[in-house]
Amino acid sequence: MPSNIEVSIEGFTGPLDLLCHLVESRQMQASKIKVAQLVRIYGAYLSKTRNASAEIISEFFFMAAGLLLQKVLSLLPSDKENVSSGFEDSDESYDVISEEELLARMSRFSPYRKATSILIERKGKQDRKFRRISLHVADASFPKYELGDLYNLSKLWWSILAAHRNENNSESIWDEDESWDGVPESLPDEARIQTRIDEITEKLRKYPVLLLSSLIEEQKLLSTSSVSAIVVTLLALLEMCRMKKISVFQEELFGEVRINAAFSDSIAY
Amino acid sequence: MAKSGLTLLSATASRIEAVLFVASTQVSERELSETLAVPTREISAALLELQEHLAKHAHGIELQNIAGAWQLVTNPHYAEIISLFRDVSERQRVRISKASVETLAIIAYNQPVTRSEVEEIRSVRSESVIETLLSHGLIKMAGRKKSVGSPWLYRTTDRFLEVFGLASMSELPSLEEISIAGVSQEEQNKEDEADSQA
């Protein structure tokens, strides 16, 4: 069901059906929803899960069309008598601003528009004046930060950290395609976890002790979606712990995690 | 003093000119005072003398007060020539969209101000514009507002004054002055229209 998926778009993070409900009940402005982004996320989600029936897709289309209709209505001038939303609660009034409100907003914004013109004019004049260029790195070309300007400092810090990571670990196991931003990870099904349990059991028959890092590295090499593969491995290990097939040890903080076959009988069945 | 029709600069003004010539960033009056070991009042007078001197004798450079400090800049009459020289103009040009200037104007006249207050005036979402202005150093975060959600407050920076060639915010007309000027302009336009019809 599409309503089960969590979407993360600008201004909202949560289940899709909640988003639709908020928009339909006017608790959230439809004009602020980026429907195209939503469709992209859901399309990517379907392609990841590879489990989309016509019913699921049609239900999503129904929700997306509802959002789109609400968005169009919110952008059009108010005409409550003639407009029909297509939803059951179509007799509700729409959150479309009145003419008076529009004029008030324009009047409030008017001086700022003139101030904008003044600033643009000033910038035009200032752009015609040039100053000495500093060749010293620590002087003018290096960005300066005022005390308390944590935003720029943290931004710089994260960019340096990211650059450092890219240099040292260009094939990080957490590397994912940027186009998957905001796309929820599909939940691994039981069959995949069972397959992984069988694989780990098979390994434990050959080697009495396994290292968690080697299991993850192995998945990284085999799978295209490393994060999903790691989740499957961890779930498989948890399940095996629950079934008392393995015991897990970590001798020191941040140390290597060792997986032992807990009961040789259960492994050697 | 006059010599061959040219006004000579005072010793302090000449020394200030020399210091500003080597400075790649703005220099405050206090720094000049400390460097030249001259009282601030004398520095202020010498700066005005130098500014007037450069303007009067059509020099290729002029003295400008930016964000409360002083810097030698090129004469705007020679902008076209400078733009042909190496990549000077490209290195100094700051490109800002109209939406960004609009947002800057709202922040400048209402600072410190929250994003939602900016959006209230603009009637459109301004998240990405504010992000852009932050990344260009034209605005900065200035604490949080003591209200529901403790939203961030934003202020303009000295970089803003630099880009728009302002010594301080007081150089900009107030919103009231802008409104009155706007009304007067509209009345003038109406009169002109009536005259042309007559």
DSSP states of A41-59 as a string?
HHHHHHHHHT---HHHHHH
Tell me how far the alpha carbon of residue B153 is from its chain's centroid: 22
Residue A268's pLDDT is: 38
Q: Phi and psi at residue A8, in whole multiples of 5°?
A: -130, 95
Nearest neighbour of B122 by CB, restricted to A109, A123, A125: A109
Inter-chain residue contact B141 with A146, CB threshold 8 Å: no
Cα of B150 to nearest chain A Cα, Å: 16
Residues 6+ away with beta carbon under 8 Å from A17: A2, A3, A63
Cα A193 from Cα A6, distance rounded (Å): 22
**Which residues in chain A land under pLDDT 70?**
1-5, 10-11, 24-27, 50-51, 77-97, 134-152, 167-189, 220-226, 263-269
Q: Hey, what domains does chain B have and what are their CATH numbers? A: 8-75 (1.10.10.10), 98-193 (1.10.10.10)
Nearest neighbour of A140 by CB, restricted to B25, B74, B106: B25
Per-residue pLDDT tens over the stretch B10-46: 999 999 999 999 998 899 999 999 999 999 999 999 9
Residue of B102, B103, B107, B131 to mutate when probing chain A, most A C-beta within 10 A: B102
Residues 6+ away with beta carbon under 8 Å from B60: B74, B75, B78
* Minimal-distance CA residue of chain A relative to B159: A144
DSSP states of A109-162 as a string?
HHHHHHHHHHHHHHHHHHTT--BPPP--IIIIIS----TT-HHHHHHHHHHHHH
| Other CB atoms within 10 Å distance of the CB of residue A51 | 9
* Residue B153 scores a pLDDT above 70: yes
Cα A48 from Cα A73, distance rounded (Å): 33
Which positions in chain A touch B130 (Cβ < 8 Å)? Answer: none
Find the radius of gyration of the CA atoms of chain B: 22
Asked if B121 reaches chain A (Cβ–Cβ under 8 Å), the answer is yes
Q: Roughly how many angstroms between the first and final C-alpha of chain A, as a whole number?
A: 39
Residue A89's pLDDT is: 36
Which positions in chain B touch A146 (Cβ < 8 Å)? Answer: 140, 157
Whole-complex ipTM: 0.81
Residue A225's pLDDT is: 58
Residue of B24, B116, B180 to mutate when probing chain A, most A C-beta within 10 A: B24
Nearest neighbour of A115 by CB, restricted to B74, B109, B143: B109
Residue A92's pLDDT is: 36
Among A residues 124-183, those touching chain B with beta carbons less than 8 Å apart: 125-134, 136, 139-140, 143, 146, 148-152, 155
Residue B35's pLDDT is: 94
Per-residue pLDDT tens over the stretch B65-76: 998 899 999 999
Which positions in chain B touch A130 (Cβ < 8 Å)? Answer: 73-74, 79, 82, 88-89, 92
A225 SS3 class: coil
Residue A225 burial (C-beta neighbours within 10 Å; 0-12, 13-18, 19+): middle
